[in-house]
Amino acid sequence: MSEFFLELFSEEIPAGLQKNLRQKLLEDFQNFFEKKLIKSKKSFSLSSPNRLVIVFTEIDKQVKIKSEEIKGPKIDAPDQALEGFIRSNKIEKKRFI
């Protein structure tokens, strides 16, 4: 099993905001790990006046990556349909010579 440890130097963050920040940061990482199907046994956050720490313990060594297939318009579709598909899926349009 592996661990994920993130330590941030947080001198500029007021002490009153650090608790909210560490909870929000932990929640964001938990959501990211869940979205990417990364499983861990335990996660927690800590903070001190100068440090903010996020820890995930017992992470699986191998992560199963879920493939995703996106179907677009046909090749002979109007340019407007192609442009809409490119924009909606944030794809960079490249031309080949």
Identify the pLDDT of residue 53.
Answer: 92
Is pLDDT above 80 for 94? no
pLDDT(30) > 90 = yes
Q: Which two tokens stand for residue 73?
A: 């318009």
What is the pTM (predicted TM-score) of this model? Answer: 0.63
Pick the most confident of 25-29, 67-71, 74-78.
Answer: 25-29
Cβ atoms of 63 and 1 closer than 8 Å: no
Report, as an integer, the average pLDDT of 19-43: 90
Residue with tokens 């996660």: 43
Domain boundaries, given as residue ranges, for the chain: 2-59
Give the dihedral sign, CA 24/21/32/6: negative
CA gap 11, 13 in Å, rounded: 6
pLDDT digits 0-9 by tens, 41-65: 999 999 888 888 999 999 888 877 7
How far is CA 7 from each of CA 51, 58, 68, 88, rounded to the nearest angstrom?
7, 18, 33, 36
